[in-house]
Chains A and B, each alone.
Chain A
Amino acid sequence: MPESEGKIKVFLGLNFYGYRYDQAGPSSKNEQQYGMKPIIGRDYVEFLRKYFSTSMIVYDARINEHITVLQTRPTKQQQNPLPESIIFYPSLKSIYERLELATKLNVGIAVWDGGQGLDYFYDLL
Chain B
Amino acid sequence: MTSYLYFIVFFCVICSIETTIGPGSRKPSSRSTEKVVTTPPQSVQSPPPPSSPPSSISSSPPAKTNVLQRNLLQENIEPQAILQNHESYCLTCTETREFTNPTLVYITPWNSHGYDLAKIFTKKFDYISPVWLNIKRTGYEKYLIGGIHDIDNKWIDVLKEKNSKIKIVPRIIFEEWSTDDIHALFQSENEKQQIGITLENFLNEYKQLFDGYVLELLMQFRGSSKSTLNHIISDIAEHIHQIENKEVILAVPPYEELFDKNDFEILYEHLDGFSVMTYDFPNREPGPVAPLGMIFR
Contacts and interface: CB of A to CB of B under 8 A. Distances in A.
Q: How large is the interface on A (under 10, 10 to 19, 20 to 34, 35 or more residues)?
A: 35 or more
> What size tier do the contact residues of chain B reach?
35 or more
Given A42-B113, A51-B79, A101-B292, A34 B286 contact: yes
Contacts of A98: 290, 292, 295
Interface string A5-20: 0001111111101110
Contact of B99 (A13, A62, A64, A99): A99
A102 B131 CA distance: 24
A65 B289 contact: yes
A92 B83 CA distance: 13
Interface of B: 1-2, 4-5, 21-24, 26, 31-41, 43-49, 51-54, 56-57, 62, 66-68, 72-80, 82-83, 85-90, 93-94, 97-108, 110-115, 117-118, 120-121, 124-126, 129, 131, 249, 254, 264-265, 268-269, 271-280, 283, 285-293, 295-296
A112 B112 CA distance: 13
A124 B99 CA distance: 7
B111 A88 contact: no
A125 B103 contact: yes
B104 A111 contact: yes
Given A48-B83, A82-B40, A120 B265 contact: no
A107 B22 CA distance: 20
B285 A13 contact: no
B99 A120 contact: no
| Shortest Cβ-Cβ A-B pairs, 10 listed | A115-B114, A115-B111, A38-B23, A108-B102, A114-B114, A63-B291, A52-B79, A71-B48, A64-B292, A15-B279
A52 B77 CA distance: 12
A56 B292 contact: no
A26 interface: no
